[in-house]
A and B are shown apart, each in its own frame.
Chain A
Amino acid sequence: MSTFRDERFLRIVGQIAFAAAVVLFALWCLGNYRARGLSFSFAFLQDEASFDLAEGMAFSPIDPYWKAFIVGLVNTIKVAILGIILATILGTITGVARLSTNWLISNIASVYIEIIRNTPLLVQLFFIYFAVALKLPELRDRLVLPGPIFLSNRGIHLVWWRPTASFTWWVPFWIVALVAAVGIYLWRVRLEGRRRRPVSRLPWAFLALVIPLIGWLLVPGNPLYADKPAVEGLKVVGGTSVSPEFAAILFGLVIYTGAFIAEVVRAGIMAVPRGQTEAARAQGFTEMQILRLIVLPQAIRIIIPPLISQYLNLTKNSSLAIAIGFLDLYAVSNTMLNQSGRIVEVFIMVMAAYLSMSLTISLIMNVANRRLAMVER
């Protein structure tokens, strides 16, 4: 009976048994699924959706299901990208403020971080949407901020720049200038490599952009005009509008993720050895220069990995939009499965979409991480 004491044999048997158990369980589940008379097919995606979507790309009830899914996906991506950018800005500022030598500033930052981190995102979203966004005055008693920006319970209306007929004349100039700017920038980078001494790059690159800018300002006739919102009767014409749902989910995600990013930034900055700051101060750098040239470039390498997971969290958390009625990928899919009854199929699509978004973000950030990683000398 030596085979049964042989470890290699036991390992293989164990694995086969485990795999068999998993497969049997899956088959049992599938059997139950079939026994309910349910089928599995993606053909319904071509059918008429017969529901309306008020957010994002144009969509009408006669469009097919797959188009509804795309609308939701685009809305989610929009929230995610805007949210990531704004949360990074807010988080960096707060993280630096948290470390400020100014007692008040650092305490304001830490109160904000503690309050936000210790309450659930959903409570904050409910508060922002039900208690603030929907409590704004009616359109006729709207709040007007300079710009003009209208705040009302219909959302935010703000000024938007639209191209006029002469805009097309300017497009080739801008393209040429942009290409020239990139070219100059690359040339300066190579020059720096050759001279082995830092040379200024950005001001030179901007030089190429200044020429069309001067023309833009001097030549008569506006290529862009400001489309200002105005109230006509019961609706707003002109400008662009942000729905209360979109504003609430975006603000909520930015405020929530910003607090977490602040902690990430703070930890990253604190991980830079104190000697670095002291050495820089001894050499006569100003505080701002120390932060910009010495501390942040080193801290960013420590910050990026946890930052990736914050970005992933933000993207996944955007699915909470369903709780306040913003039509993101998740909310649209929920309507789709209620409407079509194709629960399993829609769920597979949703999972696949979120997984691929997560993978894309990790991929981009990992590439950035590798490019920025410290080169050991």
Chain B
Amino acid sequence: MTVDVEVMKPPRTEVGALGWLRKNLFGTWYDALLTVGSVAFICVVLYGVFNWALNTAKWGVVTTNIKVFMVGRYPYSEVWRIWTSVGLFLVMALVSLVVWKRNVTKARRGVTIAWVIVLLLTIVLLKGFGDLPLIPSVPINIWSGLMLTLALGIVGIVASFPMGVLLALGRRSSLPVIKVFCTTYIEGIRGVPLISVLFMSMLMIPLFLPPSIRLDNVLRAMVAMTLFSAAYVAENVRGGLQAIPEGQYEAGRAVGLNEGLVMVLIVLPQALRAMIPAIVGQFISLYKDTSLVVIVGLLDILGVAKAVTGQREWIGTQKEVFAFAGVIFFVTCSALSYASRRLEKQLGVGER
């Protein structure tokens, strides 16, 4: 006597496309209601956006002015210098990627030094010198467009990092004078808006300097961004420092290192590794904040966008230009945060 044991298949409503629909979209009656509502909402939004972008929008304002958006008033005959800098950065990024992926430990120091050199080289290349035949000086004051946005962001990030580390160390210092100074600075800056720091550097700093010292507007904006961001970086680094167990300091001292070396060789590397996500987040927000220089009259990409709508043939194209500026920021910020997530995973933050 044999019994046919038929293996029962799972009900069709639980697996496959139907199952997915049931589980993710029509679980309960209010889920179904929400789904229908959202589909309607998405349709309306997508139709509106596409209809505008494809039919109504005058993208001519962007395509005709694309050079202005990118490099602003940088002389067009000198644009090759910007391309060279971008190329240098790309090459360096590629080299570092290979070195870190392949784990070529020996090359790491070389790459780090090369980054510093490339950075200095770029500044020289972009700014130029007096009346050198090949690279005549381009005053910083006429830097504008996306180039200014990137310059402000990169300078702010590079300069505010060491300053933030120093401030964080100062705040945790056992020397009361230094501790009070750093704490006051950090808390003071964090309590006021960036725009007031920017205005202060534009209006107030010249009053407190002798008339012989004159700083360019763009330079002053860079200083302000750096001073502002350093306070926030300092708080992030301090969080990292607090997470390092006391035993690490004690072990360092026990093997005969002095205070400074314990900090540099043992504590900081661990603290910084732990704080990478927070610090990168801070850098992204610094990069977004560069758009505030519009308010003090500099022409970054947003400033250019606003200025372009004043041209006679492009009146009323605010939507197009601001959408364009928004897309540029969105792409760069998304790329940055994607990179930071990758870095986080690779360095194994939060893992032991």
Contacts and interface: CB of A to CB of B under 8 A. Distances in A.
Q: Bin the interface of chain B by size.
A: 35 or more
22 contacts: A32-B208, A35-B210, A101-B24, A102-B24, A102-B25, A102-B31, A104-B42, A120-B288, A122-B291, A122-B292, A122-B302, A124-B326, A126-B302, A127-B318, A135-B319, A316-B192, A316-B194, A320-B195, A323-B295, A351-B188, A354-B193, A354-B196
Q: Is the interface of A mostly helix, strand, loop or mixed?
A: helix
A294 interface: no
B67 interface: no
A354 B208 contact: no
Interface in A5-47: 11, 14-16, 18-19, 22, 29-30, 32-33, 35-36, 38
What 4 A-B pairs are tightest by C-beta distance, nearest first? A103-B24, A29-B208, A118-B333, A120-B288
B152 to A, nearest CB: 12
User: Which of B175, B210, B319, B322 has most chain A Cβ within 10 Å?
Assistant: B322
Given A32-B208, A354-B196, A18 B178 contact: yes
Contacts, number: 152
B314 interface: no
Nearest to B179: A15
A359 interface: yes
Contacts of A30: 208
Contact of B210 (A32, A102, A121, A123): A32
Contacts of A334: 199
Nearest to B35: A104
Given A123-B329, A347-B200, A319 B195 contact: yes
A295 B11 CA distance: 33
Given A118-B334, A323-B294, A355-B191, 10 more contacts: A29-B208, A101-B23, A101-B31, A108-B38, A120-B288, A319-B193, A323-B295, A347-B196, A351-B188, A354-B191
Contact of A114 (B35, B322, B334): B334
A337 B192 contact: no
Interface string B21-53: 001110100010011001101100000000000
Interface of B: 23-25, 27, 31, 34-35, 38-39, 41-42, 175-178, 181, 188, 190-196, 199-200, 203-204, 207-211, 288-289, 291-292, 294-295, 302, 305-306, 309, 316, 318-319, 322-323, 325-326, 329-330, 333-334, 337
Contacts of A96: none
Interface string A105-120: 1001000001101111
B87 to A, nearest CB: 26
Contacts of A36: 207, 211
A33 B291 CA distance: 30
B208 A319 contact: no
B177 A15 contact: yes
Contacts of B176: 15
A94 B64 CA distance: 39
B295 A320 contact: yes
Contact of A317 (B38, B193, B207, B302): B193
B323 A127 contact: yes
Contacts of B181: 18, 22
Interface in A313-357: 316-317, 319-320, 322-323, 330, 334, 337, 343-344, 347, 350-351, 354-355
A70 B311 CA distance: 38
A50 B34 CA distance: 55
Contacts of A358: 190-192
